């Protein structure tokens, strides 16, 4: 009987894709996927450390395996991802959870096979976390689980050092993949039948900052969108300090590129933006939004916002609300500031009390939801193209997203997974839309 693996992923799209790479490695070793920790012979935690609650979540789930490991001593428990990459964290994990067998980081995930094999041959735990990034290892054997979307890394790491953010410490400096490797990967994904390509990087606009890519992000986007076939192109994340008209011109040129830009603003207050070391002002941000909408009037934006950053006054918070209203975001990811050890902001005085943070996040979420709901209502009666990505058993309906990331539900006689489907929207409920297929004749009984 074959051995089984189970991977538990926390965090962002970057991590989701890295779990796909880990799955590729484990399958190559002969392991098969299983859906629970109980059945697994190898359990991998792909952790995140961006906010304290992401860490606590992983801690809780790792701790819960103590009993299982006792019952099944042959089980291999491996912990990788961003958390192990934090300074001193492997020691903390070792103390807290002595039953962990393997620890590795974001910078050496390609070594998973070697590390697991080493563990199989020795009693001692295997801990290998690199301090410095190495040359990119090209990896095309990911076991993808997000069909019809495929994640494609264009770069790794981050050079920005926003004062609140731990990412540069756990993912190293920016390294760009060679454009030709990216284009070859996308071409083969399209040939395999993927219908949506999401180009991934912490700051895609600074692609090629190390000169290793061979072209700018705008040129890369142009090259990817020039590949033949019906598919969508998305990219994330853009940084407002580097987002530029060249990219928007490429968006204008290719209908394949979704008219949605994820442009994290973080705050609407210039004082806070400066303390965050974001290197733009709210004025520059708004000018970029105007430039985008001038060239592509239907363009939508999504964003990330942090409330309760050290020193944030009510006035600063209200500046964020004002900016949110002015931009009229399609949606926003909103976070309460979480101090991360080793970052500049963690040393800042003037922490904001929890009640104030909670009050601000609740007001902001309400504001963002009201904008999203208003946009949903405008959808009713419109015809939109959805890329079907799954089936909701509870609702008994297929679901998929339009180019702006809006979820649409519909009934279908035939299996619609991976198809572009045209829907007439008949109802909106919060962020979800409900539609009727208008691209296939309705079967009459």
Between 149 and 320, name the residue whose CB sits nearer to ligand 5AD: 320
Shortest Å distance, C-beta 9 to ligand SF4: 9
- Please choose which of ligand SF4, ligand 5AD, none residue 338 contacts, taking the beta carbon within 5 to 8 angstroms, the exact cut-off set by kind: ligand 5AD
Q: Which residue is nearest to ligand SF4 (CB)?
A: 11
Residue span 165-184 as binding mask against ligand 5AD, x where in contact by CB under 6 A, dash where not: x-------------------
- Please choose which of ligand SF4, ligand 5AD, none residue 310 contacts, taking the beta carbon within 5 to 8 angstroms, the exact cut-off set by kind: none
Residue span 278-307 as binding mask against ligand 5AD, x where in contact by CB under 6 A, dash where not: --------------------------x-x-
Tokens of 418: 């991976």
Between 12 and 225, name the residue whose CB sits nearer to ligand SF4: 12
Shortest Å distance, C-beta 275 to ligand 5AD: 13
Q: Which residue in the set 10, 151, 164, 317 belongs to the binding site for ligand 5AD (CB under 6 A)?
A: 164
* Residue written as token pair 């990330």: 304
- Please choose which of ligand SF4, ligand 5AD, none residue 164 contacts, taking the beta carbon within 5 to 8 angstroms, the exact cut-off set by kind: ligand 5AD
Between 12 and 215, name the residue whose CB sits nearer to ligand 5AD: 12
Nearest 5°: phi and psi at 140?
Answer: -120, 10
Q: Which residue in the set 340, 360, 375, 437 belongs to the binding site for ligand 5AD (CB under 6 A)?
A: 340
Shortest Å distance, C-beta 255 to ligand SF4: 30
CA distance 6 to 26: 10
- Please choose which of ligand 5AD, ligand SF4, none residue 109 contacts, taking the beta carbon within 5 to 8 angstroms, the exact cut-off set by kind: none
Can you give the length of the chain in residues?
445
Q: Which residue is nearest to ligand 5AD (CB)?
A: 304
Between 59 and 147, name the residue whose CB sits nearer to ligand 5AD: 59
The neighbour count for residue 193, using CB atoms within 10 Å, is 12
Between 169 and 337, name the residue whose CB sits nearer to ligand 5AD: 337
Binding residues for ligand 5AD restricted to 39-98, rule: CB under 6 A: 50-51
Shortest Å distance, C-beta 215 to ligand 5AD: 26
- Please choose which of ligand SF4, ligand 5AD, none residue 15 contacts, taking the beta carbon within 5 to 8 angstroms, the exact cut-off set by kind: ligand SF4
Residue 335 makes contact with ligand 5AD by CB under 6 A: yes
Shortest Å distance, C-beta 153 to ligand SF4: 12
Between 256 and 278, name the residue whose CB sits nearer to ligand 5AD: 278
Those residues with Cβ within 8 angstroms of residue 79's Cβ, 6 or more apart along the chain or in another chain:
44, 45, 47, 58, 62, 93, 100, 102, 103, 104
The footprint of ligand SF4 (CB under 6 A) covers: 11-12, 14-15, 48-50, 82, 167, 170-171
Tell me which residue of 72, 15, 73, 25 sits closest to 46, measured CA to CA: 15
Shortest Å distance, C-beta 202 to ligand 5AD: 9
* Residue written as token pair 């991976």: 418
Between 82 and 155, name the residue whose CB sits nearer to ligand SF4: 82
Residue 10 makes contact with ligand 5AD by CB under 6 A: no
Between 10 and 231, name the residue whose CB sits nearer to ligand SF4: 10
- Please choose which of ligand 5AD, ligand SF4, none residue 11 contacts, taking the beta carbon within 5 to 8 angstroms, the exact cut-off set by kind: ligand SF4
Shortest Å distance, C-beta 361 to ligand 5AD: 10
* Residue written as token pair 């399958």: 27
Residues near ligand 5AD, by CB under 6 A: 50-51, 164-165, 264, 266, 304, 306, 335, 337-338, 340
């Amino acid at each position: 009987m074959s051995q089984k693996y189970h991977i538990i992923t926390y965090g962002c799209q970057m991590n989701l894709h890295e779990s796909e790479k880990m799955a590729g490695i484990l399958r190559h070793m002969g392991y098969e996927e299983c859906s629970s920790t109980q059945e697994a012979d190898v359990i991998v935690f792909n952790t995140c450390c961006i906010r304290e609650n992401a860490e606590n979540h992983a801690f809780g789930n790792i701790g819960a395996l103590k009993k299982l490991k006792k019952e099944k001593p042959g089980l291999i428990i491996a912990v990788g991802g961003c958390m192990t990459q934090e300074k001193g964290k492997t020691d903390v994990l070792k103390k807290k959870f002595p039953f962990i067998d393997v620890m590795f980081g974001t910078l050496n995930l390609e070594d998973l096979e070697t590390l697991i094999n080493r563990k199989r041959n020795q009693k001692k735990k295997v801990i290998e976390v690199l301090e410095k990034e190495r040359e990119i290892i090209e990896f095309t054997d990911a076991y993808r689980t997000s069909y019809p979307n495929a994640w494609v890394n264009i770069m790794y790491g981050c050079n920005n050092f926003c004062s609140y953010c731990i990412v540069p410490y756990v993912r190293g400096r920016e390294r760009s993949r060679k454009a030709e490797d990216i284009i070859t990967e996308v071409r083969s994904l399209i040939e395999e039948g993927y219908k949506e390509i999401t180009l991934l990087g912490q700051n895609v606009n600074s692609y090629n900052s190390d000169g290793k890519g061979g072209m700018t992000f705008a040129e890369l986007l142009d090259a990817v969108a020039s590949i033949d076939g019906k598919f969508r192109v998305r990219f994330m994340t853009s940084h407002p300090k580097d987002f530029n008209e060249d990219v928007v011109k490429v968006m204008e040129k290719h209908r394949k590129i979704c008219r949605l830009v994820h442009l994290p603003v973080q705050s609407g207050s210039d004082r806070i933006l400066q303390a965050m070391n974001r290197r733009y002002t709210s004025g520059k941000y708004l000018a970029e939004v105007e430039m985008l909408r001038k060239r592509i009037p239907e363009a939508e934006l999504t964003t990330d916002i942090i409330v309760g950053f050290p020193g944030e006054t009510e006035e600063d918070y209200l500046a964020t609300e004002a900016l949110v209203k002015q931009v009229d975001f399609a949606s926003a990811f909103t976070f309460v500031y979480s101090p991360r050890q080793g970052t500049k902001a963690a040393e800042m005085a003037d922490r904001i009390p929890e009640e104030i943070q909670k009050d601000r996040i609740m007001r902001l979420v309400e504001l963002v939801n009201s904008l999203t709901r208003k946009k949903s209502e405008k959808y009713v009666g419109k015809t939109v193209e959805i890329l079907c990505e799954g089936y909701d058993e509870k609702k008994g309906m297929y679901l998929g997203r339009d180019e702006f990331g809006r979820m649409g539900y519909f009934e279908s006689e035939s299996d619609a997974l991976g198809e572009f489907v045209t829907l007439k929207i008949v109802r909106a409920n919060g962020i979800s839309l409900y539609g009727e297929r208008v691209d296939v004749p309705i079967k009459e009984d």
